[in-house]
Amino acid sequence: MVQSRTHNCNELTIANVGERVTLAGWYENMRRVSKNLGFLILRDFYGTTQVVVENEEMMESLHGINNESTLSVTGTVRERSNKTDTIATGEIEVVPERIEVLGKCIYNELPFEINHSREADEAVRLKYRFLDLRNPAVKEKIVLRSRIVAELRKSMLEHDFLEITTPILTCSSPEGARDYLVPSRNHPGKFYALPQAPQQFKQILMTAGFDRYFQIAPCFRDEDARADRSPGEFYQLDMEMAFATQEDVFSVIESVLPPVFAKYGIYKKASAAPFKRISYRDAMETYGSDKPDLRIDLTLKDASGVLSECGFEPFAGQTVEAVVVSGFKGTRKVIDRLCADTEVISGKKAYWFRLDENGELVGGIAKFLQDIKEEVIKALSLENGDFVGLTAGKKQDALKSAGALRKLLGNVSEEHMRKDCYEFCWIVDFPMYEIGEESGELEFCHNPFSMPQGGMKALDEQDPLEILAYQYDLVCNGVELSSGAVRNHDPEIMVKAFSLVGLSEDAVKAKFPAMYNAFCYGAPPHAGIAPGVDRMVMLIAGEESIREIIPFPMNKMAQDVMMGAPSEVEERQLKDVHIRLCIEEE
């Protein structure tokens, strides 16, 4: 131990009895028994130690010192009479000869009790994050994150990847989200952008002759927060391989990730290689999601043939999807909540009925099905006691809402969900293009730099909406960890691919000058992926919110309430970068 300590607050044992030691840490609390006896708990990064004050003068000196002040304690270790196994130092205590205040906490009351900070309002926790992080339960998630990142880095190096950092200040590039822009002082009217991902740089590295690249890459996107997505800034295990196929990427990831999940995860079982491969189309039609939770054994059934004309108005002429659940005994209150939650998640209503133990259709929309009872039972392969959840609408809408219902039913049906494992899968064969919901125009479905399956021939001859891409998503327990792709390294194919979404050759050269130019000098086929570090740690730690595993997270409005960011700046700073504010009044 260095600094002003001989030991930390978690390492003294019965073997240290009789030694003179110096500890330093935070004054967690004091139980005062009398004017000359008190039990002080000292806490540092490593743990806690009990300090027994047995003299009136020293007890008096501790009056007026607030909890969470930092102290130095020098004294003698002795055996505890009331031993405890709840802490590592439970066999000993320290009898002090000197207690020195190193840093005062000037407040009598704290915003929350340190060891119960997770019970406090999130806004308060984020404002006083430096106190929140003193809670061992909060701190251990950040320690876990550090260890996971170290393990990932070690594994990538063992797989012969070279760690290379790429620029933070770069040019604006369409990656699917809004850029964070940085005005240039020396180039009036021009802006840098913080990278949404190192996409172009890592592809250029492959063209430059590097064979295997990786980095724990910071990425910046001006997008809204979700439970599994932090606004503003996030980190990913970014990697790229030259002369590589989709299967080469899969092989590396299937070797690197499962051991990390099994070693550090709350569940000790993780999928072994090879992970299950599911096409995008099959994933949607079977699970109603392109990020299915394979721990749930429920699947979707197309019930359109038997139910679209059953007389129930919301089903008329629509695609109807069913989720059949055996053994589900949910009460009406539980079922109503499932239907309401499905509507909140998907924007579409959910419906239901049962085949009871007597073979009768009951509950929900059952009254509309009595005349076609046998057809319904046969079409859905129902057995007595089965519960049937239903959604309807245009095909994609019906599938997505049924996927939401499937996941909710899995979460409340213990016999249909294995919760004690990490279940990985690959979603493959994504469409290259789609019709944009807002624009109504043809757009790239995922990464615009992906290689279309079939190359130039497919772009020339196929309906764009039928073209598949060498794109893939890595999914674990219903959470999308990453998107990746075999890259489009041929400038002619690149120009053609962008032309289908209305971008001319000149526009491609103008938007991606470095990458286009590099590809004209003999680019190798290459492929890559970038699993999200934050999401991985969240899953491994078993947390519901990604903010629990980020040291200094922003709130849902992309604000750092502790630092006060974003903040106003002085007029001279704006003048330096040639900016004049024009804020519209609400």
Contacts of 539 (CB under 8 A, 6+ apart): 261, 265, 422, 476, 477, 479, 481
Distance of CA 179 to the CA centre of its chain: 20
Count how many residues are written for the chain.
Answer: 586
Question: Please, are residues 190 and 184 in contact by the beta-carbon 8 Å criterion?
Answer: yes
User: pLDDT for 542-566, tens place per residue?
Assistant: 999 999 999 999 998 999 999 999 9
Residue 317 falls inside a structural domain: yes
CA dist., res. 283 & res. 293, Å (int): 10
> What CATH number is associated with residue 381?
3.30.1360.30
Residue that the structure tokens 């607030």 belong to: 66
Residue 563 falls inside a structural domain: no
According to the model, what pLDDT value does residue 174 have? 58
- Is pLDDT larger for residue 512 or for residue 166? 166
pLDDT average, residue stretch 263-278: 94
Split at pLDDT 50, 70, 90, the class of 99 is very high
Domain boundary among 375, 399, 416: 416
Question: Please, are residues 486 and 523 in contact by the beta-carbon 8 Å criterion?
Answer: no
User: pLDDT for 413-455, tens place per residue?
Assistant: 889 999 899 999 999 999 999 998 888 899 998 888 899 999 9
Rg (CA), the chain: 30
- Is pLDDT larger for residue 368 or for residue 437? 368
Structural domain boundaries, residue 351: 296-416
Residue 121 falls inside a structural domain: no
Q: What are the contacts of 12-17 at 24+ separation with CB within 8 A?
A: 12/49, 12/77, 12/89, 12/92, 12/94, 13/88, 13/89, 13/91, 13/92, 14/79, 14/91, 14/92, 16/77, 16/92, 17/77, 17/78, 17/79, 17/92
pLDDT average, residue stretch 84-97: 95
Question: Please, are residues 245 and 486 in contact by the beta-carbon 8 Å criterion?
Answer: yes
Q: Which of 14-28, 95-109, 221-235, 326-340 shows the lowest mean pLDDT across its residues?
A: 221-235
Question: Please, are residues 533 and 549 in contact by the beta-carbon 8 Å criterion?
Answer: no
Inter-helix orientation angle 280-287/395-412, to 10°: 60
Query: Which residue type occupies 338?
Result: L
Q: Which two tokens stand for residue 505?
A: 């050759």
Residue 321 falls inside a structural domain: yes
CA dist., res. 201 & res. 170, Å (int): 10
CB atoms within 10 A of CB 58: 16
Percent of the chain at pLDDT above 90? 88
Q: How far is CA 16 from CA 75, 306, 411, in A?
A: 12, 77, 50
According to the model, what pLDDT value does residue 267 have? 94
CA dist., res. 417 & res. 224, Å (int): 30
378: helix, strand or coil: helix
Q: What is the 3-state secondary structure (H, E, C) of 483-516?
A: EEEEECCCHHHHHHHHHCCCCCHHHHHHHCHHHH
User: pLDDT for 223-264, tens place per residue?
Assistant: 877 767 788 899 999 999 999 999 999 999 999 999 999 999
pLDDT average, residue stretch 316-335: 94
Angle CA 12–16–18, to nearest 5: 130
Question: Please, are residues 491 and 520 in contact by the beta-carbon 8 Å criterion?
Answer: yes
Q: Which two tokens stand for residue 205?
A: 């590295």
The answer to whether residue 175 scores a pLDDT higher than 70 is no
The answer to whether residue 567 scores a pLDDT higher than 80 is yes
The answer to whether residue 462 scores a pLDDT higher than 50 is yes
Q: How far is CA 267 from CA 5, 65, 275, 419, 420, in A?
A: 37, 43, 17, 8, 5
> What CATH number is associated with residue 54?
2.40.50.140
CA dist., res. 325 & res. 308, Å (int): 21
According to the model, what pLDDT value does residue 3 have? 60
Q: In 491-523, which positions are buried (b, 16+ CB within 10 angstroms) versus exposed (e)?
A: bebbbbbbebeebeeeebeebbeebbebbeeeb
Q: Mean pLDDT in the chain?
A: 94
- As for how many domains the chain has, the answer is 2
Domain boundary among 37, 70, 103: 103
Neighbouring-strand partners of residue 548: none
Distance of CA 348 to the CA centre of its chain: 26
Residue 304 falls inside a structural domain: yes
Residue 221 falls inside a structural domain: no
480: helix, strand or coil: strand
Split at pLDDT 50, 70, 90, the class of 1 is very low
Give one DSSP letter per residue of 165-196, joined into a string: ---SSB----SSSBPPEEE-SSSTT-EEE--S
Residue 427 falls inside a structural domain: no
Bridging pattern class, strands 212-221 and 162-163: parallel
According to the model, what pLDDT value does residue 4 have? 81
pLDDT average, residue stretch 116-143: 97
Query: How much of the chain is in helix, strand and coil states, percent to nearest 5?
Result: 35, 25, 40
Residue that the structure tokens 């239901």 belong to: 352
The answer to whether residue 201 scores a pLDDT higher than 50 is yes
Q: Which residue, 110, 93, 118, is CA-closest to 40?
A: 93
Question: Please, are residues 135 and 118 in contact by the beta-carbon 8 Å criterion?
Answer: yes
Residue 403 falls inside a structural domain: yes
Domain boundary among 416, 438, 463: 416
